[in-house]
Structure 1
Amino acid sequence: MSHWQYLISIAFTWTGFVCAISFLEAWLKFRAPGVTLPIGLSIGRLIFRALNKVEWFFALAATLLVFYGNSYKHSETIYLAIPILLLLLQTIWLLPAMDKRAELIISGAELPRSTLHFYYIGAELIKVISLVIFGVQLFR
C-alpha cells in the first residue's frame, strides 16, 4: 500500500472511532438497565481515556505519513491539523476537566450543570468533518 492509502485508512478509521464512541456509546450506555449515573461516568472515563490514546496513535501515524511521503500540501494538511489541534485541546483541558467533574459526581457531590460536554461534542463534530474532508481530498 502507498502512503496515500494508509493516510486514507487512518482518516476514515479515526472518524469511525470518534463516531462510534462519542456519538453512540457515550449516551447509549446510560440507557442500559441498571446503569446509574456514577456507573455510566466510570465507564465513560475509562472508554474516553482509551479513545484519547487511540486518537493520538492515529494523529501521530498520519503526521508521520504526511512528512514521510512528502505530501505536505496546505490545502490537505490543514484538515489534518484541525483534528490534531482539537485533540490536543481535549487532552490538556476538556478531558481532565470532565474527568475531575465525573470524579466529584461519582463520589456523591451535587454539581450544577456544565457546558463542558457541549464543547466536547462541538470539538468532535469539527474533528469528524475535518477528517472526512481530509480523507476525501486524498482520493484526488
Structure 2
Amino acid sequence: MNKSKTPLALASLFLWVGFVGAISFLESWLKFQAPGITIPLGLGIGRLVFGALNKVEWVFAILIFISLYRAKEPVFSLKYTYFLIPVVILILQTVWVLPVMDARAELRLQGNEVSPSNLHYYFVAMEIIKVACLSLLGIRQLKLWAGKVDE
C-alpha cells in the first residue's frame, strides 16, 4: 500500500474492524442483557443493526478497493489476501447468511418454531476471520507507513 496515496484505505480498514468488533462482539450479545429486552424485540433490533452494518461494511470495502485501485496497487494479488478474504466473507454474508438468518428471525417473530441451526456459529466464525484478516492487514500497513517493513 503506497502510504502517500492510500490514507483513505487505511482509515477505512480500521473503521471496518471497529464497526464489526463493536456490533458483532459487543452489541449483539449485550442487548439481550438489558432489562425488558424480549427475544422478539432483540431479534428485531438485531435484524435492523446487522442489516445496517452490512451496508456500512460494503462502503468500507468499496472505499478500500477504490483507494488501492487508484494507487495502482495489485488488489487481486496475494499481497492483498487479507483484504480479499473479508470481501469474500462479506459476499457470503450478504447473499446467504444474513438473508437466511433474517428469514428464520421473521418466522420466530411470527410465532413459528424454527429448527436448530448452526448458522449463528458460521456467522461468528466469519466475523472472527474477517476481523483477524483486516487487523493483520492494518498492522502490516501501519508498519509500512512507519518504514518498519519492506513491501
Instruction: Place the TM-score, normalised by the shorter chain, in its bin.
Output: over 0.9
Determine the structure 2 residue equivalent to 1:84. Answer: 87
CA deviation after TM superposition for structure 1 residue 103, in Å: 0.2
Aligned length: 140
User: Which is helix-richer, 1 or 2?
Assistant: 1
Written as runs of structure 1 = structure 2, the 5 A alignment for 1:59-70 is 59-70=61-72
CA distance in 1, matches of 2:60, 2:107: 31
> What fraction of aligned residue pairs are identical, expressed as a percent?
46
Structure scoring higher RCO (CA < 8 A, sep ≥ 6) equals: 1
Tell which structure's C-alpha radius of gyration is larger: 2
Determine the structure 1 residue equivalent to 2:110. Answer: 107
AA at the equivalent of 1:33: P
Determine the structure 2 residue equivalent to 1:20. Answer: 22
CA deviation after TM superposition for structure 1 residue 3, in Å: 3.0
TM-align CA RMSD: 1.4
CA distance in 1, matches of 2:79, 2:45: 36
Written as runs of structure 1 = structure 2, the 5 A alignment for 1:109-128 is 109-128=112-131
Q: What does the per-residue CA deviation read over 1:65-116, in whole Å, with 9 as the maximum and x for residues that have no partner?
A: 1110012263431111010000000000000000000000111112222111
AA at the equivalent of 2:57: E
CA distance in 2, matches of 1:3, 1:24: 33
Asked if 1 retains the 8 angstrom alpha-carbon contact of 2:82 and 2:137, the reply is yes
Unaligned runs of 5+ in 1: none
TM-score, normalised by the number of residues in structure 2: 0.88
AA at the equivalent of 2:33: R
Asked if 2 retains the 8 angstrom alpha-carbon contact of 1:59 and 1:84, the reply is yes
Asked if 1 retains the 8 angstrom alpha-carbon contact of 2:10 and 2:141, the reply is yes
Which consecutive aligned stretches of 4+ in structure 1 deviate over 4 angstroms post-superposition? none
Asked if 2 retains the 8 angstrom alpha-carbon contact of 1:76 and 1:137, the reply is no
CA distance in 2, matches of 1:125, 1:108: 31
TM-score, normalised by the number of residues in structure 1: 0.95
